[in-house]
Amino acid sequence: MTHPLPPALSDGFPSDSYDDWLDRVRSTYESVSFSCMHRLGDRLLADRVGAQVVAGMLRKPGVFRFFGLPYSARIGHLAEARIAEAKAGRRDQIAEWDRILRSLRSIPAPDRDAFVLTCVQGLEVPEIAGRLGLTDQEARRLIDTALGRMRAIADEELGDETSAASQTE
């Protein structure tokens, strides 16, 4: 006798959705890094700019529910500011993609679920609570924890800077 999966686990959710999101973030990093390499002429610096862009997106993760021009515009905004900083010789923040990826992979499954439902799928707290079998209050705490983890990853990579590149959307 088989038991049906809870709604949150059907259709490949949650791990597939988070893994798909990680693939999207990795592709974003690789694209930015590749483009910046041609602009900066320095592979290591380009990789750092790519990692800084990803970290900047983690600070304001609502961007991950968008595709196309809104998503590209956020990437472009962050990348242009970081390229300008790199060209000006500002290299005090050393973001690293491998460290970001390790941190993202270490996020516990419940936080991953909350993150995907909130920032990728754009669901509201009552919908998330229903999907995960939680009360609204439990879902809100889980979302806050997940978003806090993403901000902590960004802060580790970018420091406490308040540059326009990291704080504007």
Instruction: Tell me the C-alpha distance between 99 and 145, whole Å.
Output: 20
- What is the per-residue pLDDT for 92? 62
* pLDDT for res 95: 86
Which carries the bigger pLDDT value, residue 164 or residue 48?
48
> What is the C-alpha separation between 63 and 55, in angstroms, rounded?
12
- pLDDT for 91-110, tens place per residue? 666 789 999 999 999 999 99
Contacts 24+ apart (CB under 8 A), 5-12: 6/133, 7/130, 7/131, 8/113, 8/131, 8/132, 8/133
Above 60 in pLDDT, residue 46? yes
Q: How confident is the model at residue 164 (pLDDT cuts 50, 70, 90)?
A: very low
Of 123, 101, 104, which is closest to residue 114 (Cα–Cα)? 123
Determine contact, residues 86/40, Cβ cutoff 8 Å. yes
Q: Quickly count: other Cβ atoms within 10 Å of residue 4's Cβ.
A: 7
The rounded mean pLDDT for the chain is 85
